Amino acid sequence: MDIDPILLARVQFGLTACIHIVFPSLLIGLASYILVMEALWLKTRRPTYREQWLFWLKPFAAVFVVAVITGAVLSFQLNTLFSGLYEKTAAVLVPIRRIEFANALFVLAGFFGIMVWGWRRFAPRAHFLASLIVLLGIMVSVVCVLARNSWLQTPAGYALVDGEIQLTSLAQALFNPSLPYRLAHMVGAALSSTAFVIMGVSAGYLLRGRHRTFASLGLRAGLLAAAVLVPLQMFSGDLHGLNTRDYQPAKLAAMEGLWETTRGAPLVLFAWPDVEAGKNRYSVEIPRLASLIVTHDLNGKITGLNDVPKSERPYVPMVFYSFRVMAGLGLLMLATTIAGLILLRRKRLYDSRWFLRLACCTAPAGLAATIAGWCVTETGRQPWVIYGLVKTADIVNPSHAAQSADFIFYVAIAYVGILAAFGRYLLGVLRRGPAATDDARLTRQTTTPERPAASRLT
């Protein structure tokens, strides 16, 4: 059976991208959490804060290593499967990649070691400064990566000269129209995902009656972070949707499952998109709600897929269902957060076993929602690799794409090994739990008696 090599190339890249995105998300969130806990320890000298940042340093280091490895695989795929992309975009994207490379070489490589292994050798404030620089370096890398991706979605700062894409403004290319929304949504996803991971790990300890002081603080911290981040994430998602409406109407129509251009468009809760017939089957809808969400007007107009040439439409089922997975998990996270806040107010948070089990079950919800969101982003712009300018089929390397099936097999074996090693290390860290340290500089405490862990984050 002949399989389309372009489809194989997309599948291979999509699978590796879905695995990779988990680790940068945790990297952003854990670096932020460690920095906050270290700052609180510097201010109060309470050992519970020290236990938090020392414990989460270990998963952070492992996540960093795996993020680098999986990121290198993605770069390799871009340079082989989609080698034509480099030729098309070199004038625009290479300057952004140089910024990212310089940041990785001079900032992350230099201060990462101090952050992870230097806490015994450096003064506490010097170590905190290293942690801050690492977080800033991660954010610079995130901006560069998202700027490149966003430029492919909403190209700006370029000109076509004899059919070649030439850079006219690095600032406009870097800060293209969708970057602010994609950056806010991605960072929010990373922070809220990590908050739920921390809640889940802490809830697991409480269920087993282990490390209760440590776990109580972690659960409360994660919950309070989620209470702020989850609503903000929904707000940034709304703004991102409005930007998509303006710049990528076909993607938005696929997300909403709308085939006909409609005023007062219904929100399609569930349907079976029939691509060949150009309509939905078994549709469950709420009248006018899609127009209200997308245009903030009950009678707002939304462009339908049937107004877009078939050759320029994304694969609707993938976009449609991925969007609903993302939105559904977001609502689950919101409901979990609200339940936790109610229990916290009633002083029953740490002893409600049903909620602790729920926190354990929803620990990966944010990461799963992030994967689904990137499926929407990347699948939704197809068949374009540079939206409105260059199609994916025009930049695929036929010789490498034809070997994609074999390469998927080899990558799968490599990833199984990498993820197995990562999982084994992480399980070992979780089994050991937080460990006290003998370092006299880190065990200094204030003379103020400690308050209960449940009341320390106010």
Window from 67-81, 98-112, 151-165, 434-448 with minimum mean pLDDT: 434-448
Mean pLDDT over the full length of the chain: 86
Does the pLDDT value for residue 345 go beyond 70?
yes
Question: Is pLDDT larger for residue 387 or for residue 104?
Answer: 387
Rounded average pLDDT over 4-8: 70
- Alpha-carbon distance values, 316 to 102, 257, 392 (Å): 39, 7, 17
Does the pLDDT value for residue 358 go beyond 90?
yes
Q: What is the pLDDT of residue 453?
A: 45
pLDDT band at 449 (very low <50, low <70, confident <90, very high): very low
* Residues 6 or more apart whose Cβ sits within 8 Å of residue 62: 422, 425, 426, 429
Q: What is the pLDDT of residue 450?
A: 41
Its sign, for the CA torsion 367, 372, 375, 377, is negative
Strand blocks (E) in 357-438: 384-386, 390-391
Q: Which helix (H) or strand (E) holds 301?
A: strand 301-302
Share of the chain above pLDDT 70, in %: 91
Question: Is pLDDT larger for residue 3 or for residue 166?
Answer: 166
Angle at 39 between CA 454 and CA 441, to 5 degrees: 100
Does the pLDDT value for residue 458 go beyond 80?
no
Greatest distance between any 2 Cα atoms in the chain? 75
State the CB neighbour count (10 A cutoff) for residue 354.
9
pLDDT band at 135 (very low <50, low <70, confident <90, very high): very high
Rounded average pLDDT over 41-64: 92
Rounded average pLDDT over 288-314: 89
Does the pLDDT value for residue 438 go beyond 80?
no
Q: What is the pLDDT of residue 226?
A: 96
DSSP 96-154: HHHHHHHHIIIIIHHHHHHHHHTTTTS-HHHHHHHHHHHHHHHHHHHHHHHHHHHHHHS
What amino acid is encoded at 82 in this protein?
F
Its sign, for the CA torsion 277, 283, 289, 293, is negative
Share of the chain above pLDDT 90, in %: 52
Q: What is the pLDDT of residue 1?
A: 46
Rounded average pLDDT over 284-300: 90
pLDDT band at 111 (very low <50, low <70, confident <90, very high): confident
d(CA 243, CA 179): 10
Does the pLDDT value for residue 439 go beyond 50?
no
Max mean pLDDT among 94-103, 294-303, 341-350 falls in 341-350
Q: What is the pLDDT of residue 10?
A: 76
Question: Is pLDDT larger for residue 402 or for residue 89?
Answer: 89
Burial letters for 393-424: b for 16+ Cβ neighbours within 10 Å, e otherwise?
eebbbeebbebbeebbeebeeebeebeeebee
- Interhelix angle for 124-153 vs 109-117, to 10°? 130
* Residues 6 or more apart whose Cβ sits within 8 Å of residue 119: 54, 57, 127, 439, 442
Window from 117-131, 321-335, 388-402 with minimum mean pLDDT: 388-402
Both tokens of 402, joined, read 């034809």
Rounded average pLDDT over 216-225: 95
DSSP-assigned beta bridge partners for residue 285: 268
What amino acid is encoded at 55 in this protein?
F
SS3 234: helix
Question: Is pLDDT larger for residue 438 or for residue 415?
Answer: 415
DSSP 327-365: HHHHHHHHHHHHHHHHHHHTT-TTT-HHHHHHHHHTTTH
Asked if 140 and 100 count as a contact pair (C-beta separation under 8 A), the reply is yes
Does the pLDDT value for residue 323 go beyond 60?
yes
Q: What is the pLDDT of residue 205?
A: 94
Q: What is the pLDDT of residue 229?
A: 96
Asked if 29 and 37 count as a contact pair (C-beta separation under 8 A), the reply is no
pLDDT band at 403 (very low <50, low <70, confident <90, very high): low
Q: What is the pLDDT of residue 23?
A: 93
pLDDT band at 398 (very low <50, low <70, confident <90, very high): low
Window from 10-24, 153-167, 192-206, 279-293 with minimum mean pLDDT: 10-24
Q: How far apart are the first and last CA of the chain?
A: 62
